[in-house]
Amino acid sequence: MADNNTIARPYARAVFELAKNSGELDKWSDALAAAALMIEDGQAARFLEIPTLNFGKRLTFLAELIGAAGTAGAALLGTDSRGRNFLRLLLENGRVTVLPEISEHFERLKAEVENTVDVTVTSAAPLGDARMAEIATALTNRLGREVRLESEIDEDLIGGAVIRAGDVVIDGSVRSRLESLTNALVS
């Protein structure tokens, strides 16, 4: 059986092309993120598996659930014919549960087109605005893309930071340095 990422990739690519051609990347991004949240919860997916529900009721339920998320993008999946057709296709092929992966792949494609990268900076303590600006500037220069920073706190790091930008991981944490030192001493 193929994994969810393999299954999600062609759906994400198709939706991405539709969104790009219609100039609605942000709307579709928002819609897919809302749909992913609904499905990740698990309750909606379990409800959709009830054998007594006919296809029409499943589609209506899914469209209304996502459309009720209250965002402009979510309404796209709930009321727009293209959005409903996308949901119909997922339901027909039993692929509703891969909506979170579809959303992730869509975001990667969108980031490529927009020449952006989402970066997570994990540190032991909160970083100030000046430090975050320094990190953003350095990463923009290194990666050649616009950087969107998100900050996380992990008190187990002791000090330093771990930076994740797509596939790039820069581990400047004290914990990592101590582990390297321990390994060097033990060897």
- Same domain for 18 and 96: yes
**HSE-up (13 A, CA, CB side) for residue 166:** 15
- Same domain for 82 and 156: no
* Residue 25 belongs to domain with CATH number: 1.10.520.20
pLDDT digits (tens, 9 = 90+) for 115-131: 888 889 998 888 888 98
Find all residues with CB under 8 Å of 58, minimum gap 6, and list them.
48, 91
Per DSSP, helices labelled H in 23-128 are: 25-40, 43-48, 55-67, 72-79, 81-92, 99-114
- Write the single-letter amino acid at 128: G
Q: What is the pLDDT of residue 42?
A: 81
Looking at the structure of the chain, the number of domains it has is 2
- Same domain for 134 and 60: no
Which of 73, 89, 111 represents a domain boundary (last residue)?
Answer: 111
Handedness of CA 41, 42, 45, 46 (dihedral sign): negative
Find all residues with CB under 8 Å of 159, minimum gap 6, and list them.
124, 173, 174
Beta-bridge partners for 20: none
Tokens 């900076």, residue? 121
- Same domain for 32 and 93: yes
- Same domain for 87 and 50: yes
Short-list 14, 1, 20, CA closest to 102: 14
Short-list 103, 127, 120, CA closest to 37: 103
The SS3 call for residue 119 is: strand
Q: Which domain holds residue 148?
A: 116-186
pLDDT digits (tens, 9 = 90+) for 157-171: 788 888 888 777 888
The SS3 call for residue 171 is: strand
User: Is there a contact between 160 and 172 (Cβ–Cβ < 8 Å)?
Assistant: yes
Which of 85, 111, 137 represents a domain boundary (last residue)?
Answer: 111
Q: What is the pLDDT of residue 70?
A: 66
Please tell me the pTM assigned to this model.
0.73
Which of 63, 94, 111 represents a domain boundary (last residue)?
Answer: 111
- Same domain for 102 and 76: yes
Q: What is the pLDDT of residue 73?
A: 67
- Same domain for 63 and 132: no
pLDDT digits (tens, 9 = 90+) for 40-66: 888 888 888 888 889 989 888 888 888
- Same domain for 145 and 78: no
- Same domain for 105 and 132: no
